[in-house]
Amino acid sequence: MRLRDEWPVDHRLATVYRYGAGICGGVLLLFGCLGFADELTPSAPTAPESRACRRTGC
């Protein structure tokens, strides 16, 4: 059984759901890219030590 079979063809919320899913996916992609970029840029001259301390909580 598919959900499409249960809804009428001209269901109004189908478009809202589709756009909402696209926006949520875009936000997740944006935060993923920002998190990845944060790991690439060193925040101090001793980047390997600061990165290790940030992960382990020195």
**8 A C-beta contact, residue 58 and residue 52:** yes
pLDDT for residue 27: 94
**pLDDT tens digit sequence for 2-55:** 766 776 777 788 889 899 999 999 999 999 998 888 776 665 555 555 565 666
- 58 is written with which tokens? 């020195």
Q: Report the alpha-carbon distance of residue 52 to residue 28 in Å, rounded.
A: 25
Phi-psi sector, 57: left (phi>0), alpha (psi -120 to 50), beta:
left
Answer yes or no: pTM beyond 0.85.
no
- 53 is written with which tokens? 């301390």
pLDDT for residue 24: 97
